Amino acid sequence: MPIKIHDLKPAAGSRKPSRRVGRGIAGKGGKTAGRGHKGRRARGTVPTRFEGGQTPIARRTPKAKGFRNPFRVEYAVVNLEALESFDNGATVDPDALRARGLVAKRGFVKVLGRGELTKKLIVKAHGSSKSAQQAIEAAGGSLELIALPWGEGRPPAGGNNALTNR
């Protein structure tokens, strides 16, 4: 026989009746009913946002406009004109760029398409623009994207700052 909605009831002992307080001075919860003596909390209701007289959080927080995206990923940018300084057939990866001082010692590298590329290079980077990819392939080279450490989807909150030296 299937169970019906009117047959459902909570497990035995899981529901307790609420304590009736303020019914004379005889037992527990009598007289002041756990509210102490006098004062606002004993008499009426206190707004949930009330913070005991200190400046409320709505007034403590700054009201400046703007938004800082916690998932922003910052890249060190390298343009094609900077790649022109490498020898023909060379492999250009973040370590090679750092060795020449073209990017900072930390962070991800992105190749952008400003300038011209005439040499055949094997470029390895964390990201690139379409124009940069087309220019590298037109010069006879290849572009290989390095996988970001968090894989597909959203980066961790804090972006690059949440990650160690990359």
Distances (CA, A) of 59 to 45, 52, 65, 101, 155: 22, 14, 15, 47, 32
Confidence at residue 65, expressed as pLDDT on a 0 to 100 scale: 78
CB environment 43-69: b (16+ within 10 A), e (fewer): eeeeeeeeeeeeeeeeeeeeeeeeeee
Q: Which residues contact 165 (CB under 8 A, 6 or more apart)?
A: 106
Q: Domains (ranges, CATH) in the chain? A: 22-51 (no CATH), 75-149 (3.100.10.10)
Task: Give me the percent of the chain exceeding a pLDDT of 70.
Answer: 95
The per-residue pLDDT for range 121-158, each reduced to its tens digit, is: 999 999 999 999 999 999 999 999 998 888 887 888 87
The per-residue pLDDT for range 15-46, each reduced to its tens digit, is: 999 988 888 888 788 888 888 898 888 888 88
pLDDT tier, 70 (very low <50, low <70, confident <90, very high otherwise):
confident
Query: Is the per-residue pLDDT at 165 higher than 70?
Result: no
Q: Which residues contact 106 (CB under 8 A, 6 or more apart)?
A: 160, 165, 166
DSSP code string of 28-66: TT-TTTTS-SSSHHHHS---TT--TTSPPHHHHS-----
H/E stretch holding 96 reads helix 94-99
Which among 140, 98, 99 is positioned nearest to 119, based on CA atoms?
140
**Hey, which residues does 76 pair with through a beta bridge?**
109
Query: Is the per-residue pLDDT at 166 higher than 50?
Result: no
Task: Report the chain's mean pLDDT, rounded to a whole number.
Answer: 87
